[in-house]
Amino acid sequence: MPVMPTLERVFCRSAPWGVFAGRVVLPWALAGASLEGSVLEIGSGGGTMTAQLLTTHPGITLTAVDPDPAMVSASARRLAPFGDRASARTGDATALPFADGTFDAVVSFLMLHHVVAWESALAEAVRVLRPGGLLIGYDLLDTGPARSFHRAEGAQVRLASLDGLSRVMGELPLHAPEVRRRLGGYAVTFSARRAAP
């Protein structure tokens, strides 16, 4: 799985991003959803969103997974004040190191486009969800500006179309998946619950 380009790595660990993520991005992405129990964040980067989730949802425990060891180290430092409520580990979103039905919720914030096989990442997220568990996230859509930005960085990405993401969500064992175009068509939010067997 490709690691995040340097420019994005620096941005995602910056103080301005932390403030913006907590005040704007997280409430927008969750859209009023409440998280409970054991939560997995895939592609957690430096742990900015992870820390915000732990702060705003004091009843959860959270495992943060990212393929980039440097980001995992940054995340572990950021999450240290949360003690045993949080852990950070290296892992591939397309081959998660957890048993089926491990988590009450899986979240993904602005990372699927970094996973070339994002369909596999979504399937893995659903696999590790308990029946009734919540999948929620957001990402960039396949638009000219998003392609140009990542091409300029030399990043290995694969952006999803709204129809493609909707189709994949519809094929997974999910109940009432919602996929919504956001921010003038540049982004998408998605959510669903794991269907009962």
Using CA atoms, how far apart are residues 96 and 26, in angstroms rounded to an integer? 23
Using CA atoms, how far apart are residues 145 and 141, in angstroms rounded to an integer? 10
Closest CA to 13 of 71, 86, 93: 71
The per-residue pLDDT for 80 is 97
Residue 98, helix vs strand vs coil: coil
Q: In sequence order, what E strands does 34-173 have?
A: 38-42, 61-66, 86-90, 103-109, 129-140
Whether 100 contacts 40, CB under 8 Å: no
Question: If you ran DSSP here, which 8-state letter would residue 95 be given?
Answer: B
The per-residue pLDDT for 196 is 87
Q: At what angle do helices 69-79 and 48-56 cross, to 10 degrees?
A: 30
Provide φ and ψ at 176, rounded to 5°. Answer: 50, 60
DSSP element (H, E) containing 106: strand 103-109
Whether 186 contacts 143, CB under 8 Å: yes
Q: How far is CA 127 from CA 46, 84, 101, in A?
A: 25, 24, 6
Assigned token pair, 72: 């995992």
Question: If you ran DSSP here, which 8-state letter would residue 37 be given?
Answer: S
Assigned token pair, 177: 């998946």
Q: What string of pLDDT tens digits covers the 197 residues of the chain?
A: 445 555 555 555 566 666 676 777 788 888 888 899 999 999 998 898 899 999 999 999 999 999 999 889 999 999 999 999 999 999 999 999 999 999 999 999 988 877 888 999 999 999 999 999 999 999 887 666 566 665 555 567 777 888 999 999 999 999 999 999 887 878 889 999 999 87
| Radius of gyration from C-alpha coordinates of the chain | 15
The per-residue pLDDT for 55 is 92
The per-residue pLDDT for 160 is 80
